Amino acid sequence: MTVYSILTALPVWATAGILFVITMVAILVGRDVLEGLPYNVSYSAVVGDAGLIISVLIAATVLQRGGCYIPELLQVVKVHELVLVASMALGAAVSVFTLGQRSGQLMDVYHDVIVGPLFLYLAITLLPVVYYNGTRVEKWSVVGFIILWFILVVFDIRYDRMNQRDWLYKKFKIILK
Mean pLDDT of 29-47: 94
Burial of 117-150, coded b for 16+ CB within 10 Å and e otherwise, reads: bbbbbbbbbbbbbbeebbeeebbebbeebbebbe
Each domain of the chain, given as residue ranges in start order, spans 3-172
What is the pTM for the complete model shown? 0.94
55 with 146: CB under 8 angstroms?
yes
pLDDT score for 41? 93
- Residue 1: what pLDDT? 75
Which tens digits make up the pLDDT trace of 56-69?
A: 999 999 999 999 99
pLDDT tens digit string along 76-94?
A: 999 999 999 999 999 999 9
Mean pLDDT, residues 154-170 taken together: 92
